[in-house]
A and B are shown apart, each in its own frame.
Chain A
Amino acid sequence: MIEFSERLDKLTEVDDVTLARLGHRLEQRATEAGLLDVAFRTIDSPVGPLLLAATPLGLVRVAYQREGHDVVLQALASKISPRILAAPRRLDEAARQVEEYFAGRRTAFDIALDLRLSAGFRRTVLGHLAAISYGHTESYAEVAAATGHPGAVRAVGSACATNPLPVVVPCHRVVRSDGSLGGYLGGLDVKRTLLELEAATPTS
């Protein structure tokens, strides 16, 4: 015979399987109702857990753990919309491509991007970064020159430091003119890891 208080306690437990099922249903219902303004999920990678977030327009944010995923989600709530849900399915394709990249099986990303978190010159710089191909690097000065503002070397540095879509928009391919790494929002170890990964892989 089960004690009554024990019965009542059991009734306050909700198992993870049920919660996961409810979460999937909410993702589906919210999507159908057009209420899912920002969807996110996290994936494991050789450089730690990555947060991926997307609007209906495309991938809007990739974040390293050191940025604080909670902090990043709070910023997305403030800047885009508080209608944010964990929605793994919406990010299936982006997650697959990022995983392929880290496995050395993908040299370019083919996903829609939403660049709204970057504006003005910074956005111009991000646009140019996409043109630096896998396994290659450019200096901050070369990027500045390519955008038509050769004096804007520091501004290129800050555009890279505030890149909302690291890995996918390859700011890690921008290094100093003397060949040293410069800075990286994910930490220099991560930048080195990404460049070594790309150097080690045949770029076909």
Chain B
Amino acid sequence: MDKQPFSDLVSRHGPTVYRVCRALIGPIDAEDAWSETFVAALRAYPELPADANTEAWLVRIAQRKAIDLGRARARRPLPTATIPDLSVDGPATEANDELLAAIAALPSKQRQAVAFHHLAGRPYAEVAELIGGTADAARRAASDGIATLRKRFTTDQPKGPS
């Protein structure tokens, strides 16, 4: 079996890798993480077995690059992470930023489980390999993370008794 052109991987999996990077490390560093991921993948691609699951492979590289960039960022001064006002019903980017800020505030395993399963569509068995533990634990982490996020964004009930 002949190996497909790398450009096919970029067009087919580029959006998925971007979603993963953005959820793991935030919108500011996501593009760096995406580039690092695809450059590393391009370098290693000739050695990848032709029947490998390329999306799983790319997501794994993205996880590593996001962790590396996160460490580098931790050594830089960081703008204060504030969770913005929720009353905004604005354009998609604002809504995205709110949700991303909330995802960033999740515990690491929940954040990764949400990113890998809900945003990248990877099965729980694979998520477990990425974050450690069992597939059941990965499922619980994702579902706990989603529950926290849902609660945060479903607070439009009438304000408390006055």
Contacts and interface: CB of A to CB of B under 8 A. Distances in A.
Contacts of A11: 19, 22-23, 96, 99-100, 119
Contacts of A83: 6, 42, 45-46
Q: Dominant SS at the B interface?
A: helix
B5 A73 contact: yes
A96 to B, nearest CB: 22
Provide the main secondary structure of the chain A interface. Answer: helix
Contact of B5 (A19, A35, A77): A77
Nearest to A5: B150
Contact of B42 (A10, A25, A30, A77): A30
Interface residues on B, range: 35 or more
Contacts of A22: 14, 18, 31, 34-35
B39 interface: yes
Contacts of B100: 11
A11 B111 CA distance: 14
Contacts of B46: 81-83
- Of residues B6, B11, B156, which shows the largest number of chain A Cβ atoms within 10 Å of its Cβ? B6
Given A26-B10, A74-B4, A4 B153 contact: yes
Nearest to B115: A11
Nearest to A2: B95
Interface of A: 1-2, 4, 7-8, 10-14, 18-19, 21-23, 25-26, 29-30, 33, 35, 38, 40, 73-74, 76-78, 81-86
6 nearest A-B residue pairs (beta carbon)? A84-B5, A1-B156, A14-B15, A77-B5, A82-B3, A4-B153
